[in-house]
Every structure is written in C-alpha cells, then in structure tokens.
Amino acid sequence: MHFRDRTDAGQQLADALQDYQGQQGLVLLALPRGGVPVAVEVAKALKVPLDVMLVRKLGVPGQEELAMGAIAMGGTTILNDQIIRQLGLDETVVTAAVRREMPELARRNQLYRGGRPMPDLHAKTVIVVDDGLATGATMKAAVAALRKLGADAIIVAVPVGAYETCEELAELADTVICLYQPSPFWGVGRWYQVFGQTSDQEVIDLLGRYGPDGGNAS
C-alpha cells in the first residue's frame, strides 16, 4: 500500500505539483467524489481554490464497475469501443446508460456547485485530480470536455494509476503526473490503507472550505 488515505495521497501529489505554485491562470478541478479530498491537499499547497469537474462513468449492465464509457457536463460522451465490442453491447444499451446517468450528473451539479457556472477555462492551465486511474474512462471524458471549454493546457494528476491508462491519457492531456504505476494494478483501492466512499456531504463541506467561495486555499 502506497497511501494511508486520500489525504496522504493528496499531500504526496501536492509535492509533485509544486512547480505550478504561483502560476498565473491556474485552475484546479477534482473529479467527485473521491478526487475531492485528494485535490484539497493540492489546493492548500498551491494556494488556489478548488472546483469540481462533473463526470459520470457508464457502467456495463450487471458489471457496473466496468466502464464502457463516461459522460461529462456540457454533453461530452466518451465510449470504450473495445469493451463495447468485446461484450457485444448495442447502441440501445449505451443510450440507456447515458439517460440513466444524466440526472445524477445534474443532481451533483446542483448539490456541489449550487448551479454556479463552471469557471472560465479559456487559455487557462487546468490541473484535474482524481484518487486514481483504472480504465480512466471518467478522466478521458473530463479531458475531452475541458478541451471543448477552451483549456490551454491540461495536467492530469493522480496518486496511482494503471500504466496502460496513464499512457493513453498522455495522448490526450498535455501532461500526466501519476506517482505510482504498479503492475499488476488490481484496482485503485488496493493501494490505499483506508479507501472508504467519499460522501456527498464531505464533498460539500470541503468545497465550502476550499472552493471558490471558501477562501481557505490561500
């Protein structure tokens, strides 16, 4: 196990991101829910407010942990064509999953952000943080959405990830910072001593303290 918990992982990740401290036009985003407590430590170290990038995984029916794609705010959909082909999934299955996840995306947007618009990302450097990368479906959707929103440079920053996924993301993002790329991977939670679910309330509380309106990052 490389990390005690998400706080420890965030502190180690923040050390690797110190070169970005003081950079003008820097935006820090986390993928909820598990990415938020990790990103809080980065927000404190870099002295920038934290916001969230809302994404939802499209799980394979009956194997919800296996991602056949992901959706992000703004209508971005990324599909894992290899998984879809291997399992013989048709378009109706994918469409149903998108329709199922859209209300949850909207719910979280209202719950976490209170309807507040996304920050202006045009010509900005964006660091996007999660607690780890397995298939990377949600992060790939996030990167695609950030491109559409005009981000100038996208830095994917995670404590741990599967080597193949980090390589794939390196083709999409400008920089990928992944502290550990163990092989075999065995899943994100394998590399944390404590890896409980992050609750909605924890996300709300952390954004209240370290988000754009909280002011504790500085």
pLDDT at position 218: 53
In tens, the pLDDT along 59-109 reads 898 888 788 988 887 778 888 888 899 999 999 999 999 999 999 888 888
Q: pLDDT category, 216, cuts 50, 70, 90? A: low
pTM for this model (two decimals): 0.89
114: Cα within 13 Å, side-chain hemisphere: 9
| Measured CA distances, 76 to 32, 102, 105, 132, 176 (Å) | 17, 11, 12, 21, 21
Residue 191 burial (CB < 10 Å; 0-12/13-18/19+)? buried
pLDDT at position 163: 95
Q: Are strands 63-72 and 76-79 parallel, antiparallel or unpaired?
A: antiparallel
pLDDT at position 169: 96
CB neighbour list of residue 81: distance below 8 Å, 6 or more residues apart: none
Q: pLDDT category, 212, cuts 50, 70, 90? A: confident
Q: Compute the distance between CA of residue 204 and CA of residue 33 in angstroms, rounded to an integer.
A: 10
Residue 23 burial (CB < 10 Å; 0-12/13-18/19+)? exposed
In tens, the pLDDT along 137-180 reads 889 989 988 998 899 999 999 999 999 999 999 999 999 999 99
Q: Where are the alpha helices (DSSP H) in the chain?
A: 6-16, 35-46, 81-87, 91-113, 137-148, 163-170, 200-210
pLDDT at position 113: 85
Q: Give me the residue spans of the domains in the chain.
A: 6-53+118-210
Give the pLDDT mean for 3-7: 97
In tens, the pLDDT along 42-58 reads 999 999 999 999 988 89
202, two tokens:
């924890």
Note the CATH architecture for domain 6-53+118-210: 3-Layer(aba) Sandwich (3.40)
